[in-house]
Amino acid sequence: MKSLLILFVLTFAFSFKAAAQSKIKVACVGNSITQGPGRDNPDSYPLQMQAILGDKYDVRNFGVSGRTLLKKGDYPFWDEPQFEETKSFAPDILIIKLGTNDSKPQNWKHKGEFTADYIEMIEAFKKSMPKKAKVYICLPVPVFQGNFDINSKVILNEMRPMLMEIAKKTKTIIIDLYTPLLDKSPLLPDGIHPNKEGLGIVAAEVAKAIR
């Protein structure tokens, strides 16, 4: 009887571990729009997306407010613990939503390095990801007010074409988060950051893309 009990416990533990390992791991890298009200806050877009995708997925929020893609930006994502944490997570799916803070004058003066830095970041993450893993690049959400020195014209007219070219060079997939929020300015109260409903739209668009 004791042997049967031990066998049952071991079988259950193995099944639980196997189920956990079989989940599709999704890493969301980004700035304050990804971090949202908090990395563990259910209103953040990654955790809203977790609810949409269900138990087959394990979605993690690696967003850090104010961070840039540019290495020479004022607050590079490269220097944050979340950069290494993302690699350690070894996601099956990687979502990168960086660029909004790069449009600030003190950062965009290094725009000549934006493409190279972006490609380098993608390659750095890919080294720790499974061979069949997928990487997605997000086109930033619209900017309705020039708060925090964020420049809407830079994002739309200069950065957007760069992101499209980066996607081609790295064979990654573009997720357009600009168009779905373009006519929904009330959902971005400060003109930059989506509220809970706006983040829900972001979550739905990303979930639709990765499915």
Q: Which of 35, 94, 101, 34 is nearest to 72 (CA)?
A: 101
Evaluate whether 136 touches 95 at the Cβ level (below 8 Å): yes
Residue ranges of domains in the chain: 25-210
Distance of alpha carbon 167 from the chain centroid: 15
Low-confidence ranges of the chain (pLDDT < 70): 1-21
pTM of the entire predicted model: 0.89
Q: Which CATH number fits domain 25-210: 3.40.50.1110, 3.40.80.10, 1.20.120.420, 3.40.50.20?
A: 3.40.50.1110
pLDDT at 5: 42
Q: Whole-angstrom Cα distance, residue 115 to residue 69?
A: 10
pLDDT at 21: 63
pLDDT at 10: 36
Q: Which of 77, 80, 44 is nearest to 59 (CA)?
A: 44
pLDDT at 67: 98
Residue given tokens 């290094």 in the structure block? 110
